Amino acid sequence: MTERIYRKLTIADLRLTPAMNHNFREGFTSEKEASQFLGDPRNWLFTCLENDSVIGFIYGYELKHISQSGNMLYVHEVGVMGKYQRQGIGYKLLSELKAACREKRISKLLCLFTQKHNVPACRLYEKAGGEKAFDSQDDDRCYFFKVKT
């Protein structure tokens, strides 16, 4: 089996982003947008790489906390290529992301706007230690993850 590498991309990895338009969805990003995104260290494109190709990702934004309790990472999207789903990549992405956050002293991950009918996502978040926010209502589900620093 090919080795899978889990890590945050940097501007030096810009060459990996164009294929995401094919692997995940058309219009995912442009070279200019990816360059701007990766150029800001507060932005996270955390990936699972196989053969130098992104097969899974989590992207989000580091938010400064007003207190000294540690910053928070708002997770906007999690994705795994179709042919790689149900192989534990999403779980490993979240686990490795939490470890990377501990190193950066980020105290919480927040994943927003998952719908309850997206059962695979809800199961993944719960399996990975996500807690459903008490105010999740109707079709919306909000999960958060505490990161022990």
- Report the b/e string of 98-134 with b at 16+ CB within 10 A: bebbeebebbbbbbbebeeeeeebbebbeebbbeeee
Q: Is residue 91 helix, strand or coil?
A: helix
Fold of the 4-146 domain: Aminopeptidase (3.40.630)
CA distances from 44 to 40, 47, 48, 49 (A): 9, 9, 13, 15
C-alpha–C-alpha distance, residues 47 and 63, integer Å: 20
Write the pLDDT tens digit of every residue in 73-82. 999 999 999 9
pLDDT level of residue 137 (50, 70, 90 thresholds)? low
Provide the whole-model pTM. 0.86
pLDDT at 64: 85
Which two structure tokens, joined as six digits, stand for 78? 């999690």
pLDDT at 53: 96
